[in-house]
Amino acid sequence: MQPTLTIRDFELYKGHLSPDAQCAVVDDIREVLRAAPLVQPVTPSGKPMSVRMSAAGRLGWITDRKGYRYAPLHPNGSPWPAIPQSIAKIWKEVTGLSRMPDCCLINWYGEDAKMGMHQDADEGDFSWPVLSISLGDEALFRMGNTERGGKTESVWLTSGDVLVMGGEARLKYHGVDRVKHGSSTLLKNGGRINLTLRVVDLAE
């Protein structure tokens, strides 16, 4: 499968998910969140993040005063639910990999939420891609470099878009500057869901 657009080595598959497929994924996410509710995490410095988070899979990514890390349990002490098949299917379709992700991070963006420029660098093997799925309101996604600073480019991600960060893009800084509230009707109360699929362990 070929990307619709490649920007700074980030591969974008515009509108990969049909409206029906988006609804099916959202339904599955709601089931996950019943077992693993969204939480508002804090950074190691104690600053609350503007997004709310949960996860599915063998591991979930968490942040608190102890640092950034992967953990086998939700902050409430329960195991993370399995990654729904509707989401695993997207990973297979787009990446073509037989190795399945260990974590599906779930980020919910409200009207004023954003995500500062960062690297996805807590995994054990950076040869595996990171796959990002956008659902709901549009988000202005910024793409940078492997070091902080320098020239960046931005693109609006819309509901149903799939983005792959692999190869040269795997450790490039990226973030979400803002969300266009009310730009999608997928979620009843608005907002944006971002799913990030990651292989955590070393290559097998």
Number of domains in the chain: 1
In a domain, 12, yes or no: yes
Rounded (10°) angle between helices 85-95 and 19-35? 130
Alpha-carbon torsion (49, 177, 55, 8), positive or negative = negative
In a domain, 120, yes or no: yes
In a domain, 166, yes or no: yes
CA dist., res. 164 & res. 153, Å (int) = 16
Q: Model's pTM, two decimal places? A: 0.96
In a domain, 204, yes or no: no
In a domain, 188, yes or no: yes
Per residue in 117-165, pLDDT (tens digit) is 999 999 999 999 999 999 999 999 999 999 999 999 999 999 999 999 9
In a domain, 109, yes or no: yes
Q: The domain spanning residue 81 has which CATH number?
A: 2.60.120.590
Integer Rg of the chain from CA: 16
In a domain, 203, yes or no: no
- Name the residue range of residue 179's domain: 5-198
**Residue 203, pLDDT above cutoff 70:** no
